[in-house]
Structure 1
Amino acid sequence: MRFAYPMQKFQDWVTQQWVILRGRKIKPEDFPWLIGPFGNLDAIGEDFIHQFARKEDLIIEKDSKAKGIIPSMAKLNLSETEFSDLSKNVIDFYESTEKYDLKFAVKWNPFFKFFGILITKLFSNRINQLNIPTKNIADSESLKSEIINLVDQKSNEIKYTFWFRSIESSGQVIYSGVYGICTLPSGKTCVKAVFPLPNGNATVIMNPSVGENGRLILDSSGEKFGDAGFYFLLQDSKGEYWSQFISSFRDRLAIGPDNDHISAEQNLTLWHLKVLTFNYKIELKK
């Protein structure tokens, strides 16, 4: 039986051991669509990005011309009809994310709020990752949004794009995720978001489609390992890789034009029950 890395916080060890017991052992070279940056045992904030860049011998670029979480929406390989229907404003947001101001509101299902508080106290506050406010936010709260590219020194190619988001009023880090595109074993092109965690990561892979009025729909509702969905990935005490697909947890985002701005609604569900909803208002910076 394999064991998680022992010299870490007990709650981190327990969750990693659960992934080892319930998940599957993998070889990274066989699953390139799943592999992403791992966190260290400290907080996962901007300091981590600098540490990761040094470890991978990459250059940090905050002022590069590429300012979007997806360099080209054409790479999503949508059908010709879907891509022509997709809102040009949505395309611009994903390709030029840093040009936009974001505001968000949060609404919890009261039945799941306790679990949100527990996760925040055990994990999120300490590691500065997936740090979702545990109180409902009815009025829009401004987010500080920053794109940080890590570039290969030899090829000048962007290897990783971090989207760093925090609450503007308090500085509380919400997400520090690596965004991009991956191709599943089925050949389907998806949007991929990797959130580094201690000695591993949480990865959300979302299937893109185009809805009414040019809205982009990103949905992680897969059924099995290899589908779009939510994955944990980690290394055990021997350096072996393990992954667990969480089919019960799903994430759905719908983003599109709304009068003079862009609006988005993101719903997180567990066992088909709504856990919480984010509503975003996205506007060009003035």
Structure 2
Amino acid sequence: MNHLLDLASRKLWRLTGRPVDLHGTESWLAAPTSRTARVADGWLATEAARHGGRLEEDSATAGLLPSMAVLDGPGFDAACLRPEVRDFYEHTAAWQMEVWTGWSPVFWPAGELVSRLYGRRVEQLALPMRPLDVAHGMDSRLTLIRDGDGAQVAAAWVRTLRRGGRHVFSGCYSARLLPGADRPSVHVAFPLESGNVQVFLRPSVTAAGGLVLASPPGRFGQDGAYVVVRDRRDHAARVPLHETFHVYVDQAGVLRTDHELRLRRTWAVRLHYKLERAA
């Protein structure tokens, strides 16, 4: 039954998407996939091999990005960020997090269904459905993916529930320039069997030195969310899911993140993170 569900979902995305050449004109959509239905962290070695490099684990100073300056360009200057915000992205492994979640009553039934049928089973994109799901906290592990020259090309951020150890998210983070864009976006890919979900987030700096990452509505090839599947050949579809992250320092000096996920213009789920540097 599970195999049929996964196969049917790939057929659906093939019908609603468009053929893409991940080695040519749509190489900006090339991203890791999973060879098995259960994702967890099984894709890491394959992705390192794709870059002709290696994995670097257990680094206490590893960050999602080697430097926030890789996002610099017209309209964004990493030097204007608060030091705490910049430190989180450049030394993510040194930070701990607490998370709270709240679902819109309208979208909660659909979210619960997707979580039961897919998220918990494949251990990927398993959004917490209830506040108590994350009451005991969430652990994270950061693994750097380096190319043959030793440069960081991506970072794998794997998050698990502290109680039970179940995988919640397993993502590949990097900076990537979209076709025709004037500066890089934050690129996040969530591997799935024979495909992935990808989000391109456009960065901006607030007046208070906070960071906003947004995936707004737009055309194919612009910032936003995409599903890529391999079914005989590669197909990709832009989906009307939009995210906003606001990373900021509150009045008490605590680093926090407000995260909102919307379907078109209607909010579906909101998450709040409290971030603290490990002692």
User: How has the CA–CA distance of structure 1 residues 81 and 68 changed in structure 2, closer, same or farther, with 3 Å as cutoff?
Assistant: closer
Once the two structures are TM-superposed, the CA of residue 151 in structure 1 deviates from its matched residue by 2.8
Equivalent residue runs for 1:59-138 within 5 Å: 59-64=54-59, 67-79=62-74, 82-137=77-132
2:168 maps to which residue? 174
The answer for the alignment partner of 1:276 in structure 2 is 269
* Residues 180-201 of structure 1: CA deviation (Å, up to 9, x unaligned): 1110112231000000011000
Q: Which has the higher mean CA deviation after the structures are superposed, 130-139 or 265-274?
A: 130-139
Q: Is 2:197 the partner of 1:230?
A: no
Give secondary structure in 1 for the equivalent of 2:29: coil
Residues 19-65 of structure 1: per-residue CA shift (max 9 Å, x gap): 11111111112123221101122311134434655677642211347
| Residue correspondence of structure 1 range 156-195 to structure 2 within 5 A | 156-187=150-181, 188-195=183-190
Unaligned runs of 5+ in 1: 1-6
1:250 to 242, 245, 255: 242
One-letter amino acid matched to 1:284: R
| Deviation, structure 1 residue 141 | 4.7
Q: Which amino acid aligns with 2:185?
A: C
Distance in structure 2 (CA, Å) of the matches to 1:244 and 1:226: 10
Pick closer, same or farther for the CA change 1:195–1:80 going to 2, 3 Å: closer
The number of residues matched between the two structures is: 276
Equivalents in 2 of 1:267, 1:156: separation in Å? 35
Unaligned ranges ≥5, structure 2: none
- Relative distance call for 1:10 and 1:100 in structure 2 (3 A) is same
Q: Partner amino acid for 1:112? A: F
- Could you say what secondary structure the match of 1:212 adopts? coil
Amino acid at match of 2:241: F
Q: Does 1:41 align with 2:33?
A: no
Residue type of the alignment partner of 2:120 = N
| TM-score normalised by L of structure 2 | 0.91
